[in-house]
Structure 1
């Protein structure tokens, strides 16, 4: 990929944002950043390996010293239901036309944005609803790395708050390892050079996110997500105008 200096600056800023969201919320590093990246270039298979590599690094660092806080029962249950749909989603990502996957990513992101704006929480009230959310979340995770909000809907009911973020980070780590292995087997360029080059911006965002996470514990998370939802809809609006006007960023 050949980018101009301006595009490289924009991409670096987006990865600061990605690291910030991932560390601050415990999820959303892809869901809240990938739509922005696709405004720069409609290449999900370029950005996803970079996001995945950073997730492996920072989730490993964050939970490495806190592994005793992980809820292993939740990990076993969720992975049992998510593994097959995860692989199906990865196959779709590798085989479907790029335009389809870009539209899919924007559609799912738009859905999340609307639910956050109206403060509607996706809730799980029964084992069958849990399983459905695992399956759909696993598929979305495989297709685009943005299935976290559906999985979180189950996690918030089943886990103690002290185990919440660390358990999710371990779950994301396992799911991303599966995805990266599938990429490698399929011959997808894992973009190691770009991953290393963008590591510093992502690390800056990660450090800011850790501080934000402490602040979040004392604030109304619904209000924070509401503003994030407004921003996401704005991004989607920019994307739609870009396609309608057929002008590059």
Structure 2
């Protein structure tokens, strides 16, 4: 990212503030709702995925630790279970996702950057259509569970944007009070696998840019924490419809730029 103009750095900083806000506010979606905009600045997923991956790990740990501390205090007071993580379902899901995850990582490391960007835009458009028409992904059978987890694992391997598919399955099987923390532990594991693959493959992890992008993401994280409970209890259909429409336009523009 050394050859960018000042306004491009400013846009990247703002987008990472946005990603931090979405991640802590909704519990998922920080990658899928940010990556299409970032790819309009630099059309190479391998530039941004290490940055997004490290942020996912850092804030997953932070949010889960904070939640565990609150729950432990409540457990001592009310003599309840202190765990906010469904380890049983987490292990089951990882067994299904691990092989598609590795296949996705292999594709990311071997396919050309513009082609991977095009695949990411197409995936985001599919998500965005479900948002725009208020038809979120829902799993209501074992077959769909496995299909969504396999696809989510593969997409997570290619681009870290498998959250909508994976979250749809977990929402059907994990209690609401454990869902957010269970997902954050899952994101941490999936990203750890991906970053380990990047290190082995010699991918530039953009370490110098964490010095200014982590604070940007933390600012968004603080805002997201403030509005998390309101977002969870509010009717967010209008928010998702507007965001879905914007993502369709942005991803379509990215596809057109790749094909020109």
Q: TM-score range by the shorter chain?
A: over 0.9
Task: Measure, in 1, the Cα distance between the counterparts of 2:21 and 2:53.
Answer: 15
Higher mean displacement: 172-181 or 22-31: 22-31
1:14 corresponds to: 15
Q: Given the alignment, which residue of 129, 135, 140 partners 1:114?
A: 129
**Mean Cα displacement is larger for which, 140-149 or 62-71?**
62-71
8 Å Cα contact 2:18-2:220 kept in structure 1: yes
Matched residues in 1 for 2:43 and 2:136: separation? 30
Q: How large is the Cα RMSD of the aligned pairs?
A: 1.3
TM-score by length of 2: 0.90
1:199 equivalent in structure 2: 214
CA spacing shift, 1:165–1:215, aligned 2, 3 Å? same
Shift of 1:240: 4.1
The correspondence for 1:151, drawn from 166, 179, 192, is 166
Cα distance in 2 between the residues matched to 1:190 and 1:107: 25
Q: Report the CA distance between 1:126 and its aligned residue.
A: 1.6
User: What is the CA deviation profile of residues 21-59 of structure 1, one whole-angstrom value per residue up to 9, with x for unaligned ones?
Assistant: 111111111101000000001111010000000111111
> Residue 114 of structure 2 contacts residue 258 of structure 2 at CA under 8 Å; is this kept in 1?
no
Match of residue 60 from structure 2: 59
Cα displacement (A) at 1:220: 1.2
Q: Partners in 1 of 2:11 and 2:122 — Cα distance?
A: 23
Match of 1:216 in 2: 231
Q: Deviation at 1:239? A: 2.3
Answer whether contact 2:118 2:255 (CA < 8 A) is retained. Answer: no
- The gaps in structure 2 that reach 5 residues or longer are 69-82
Deviation at 1:242, TM superposition (A): 4.0
Partner of residue 112 from structure 2, selected from 97, 119, 128: 97
Task: Indicate the residue corresponding to 1:24 in structure 2.
Answer: 25
**CA distances 1:4-28 after superposition (whole Å, capped 9, x unpaired):** 1111001101101111111111111
1:185 matched to 2:186? The reply is no
Q: For residue 175 of structure 1, what is the aligned residue in structure 2?
A: 190
Question: In structure 2, what is the equivalent of residue 34 of structure 1?
Answer: 35
Q: Secondary structure at the match of 1:122?
A: coil
Q: CA deviation at 1:243?
A: 4.5
Structure 1: 5+ residue stretches without partners? none
Q: d(CA) in 1 for partners of 2:113 and 2:167?
A: 27
TM-score of the superposed pair, with normalisation by structure 1: 0.94
Report how many residues are paired.
245
C-alpha change, 1:65 and 1:212, in structure 2 (3 Å) is closer
Rg larger for: 2
- Matched residue of 1:100: which SS? helix
Q: How far apart, CA to CA, are the structure 2 residues paired with 1:52 and 1:212?
A: 23
**Alpha-carbon distance in 2 for matches of 1:241, 1:87:** 29
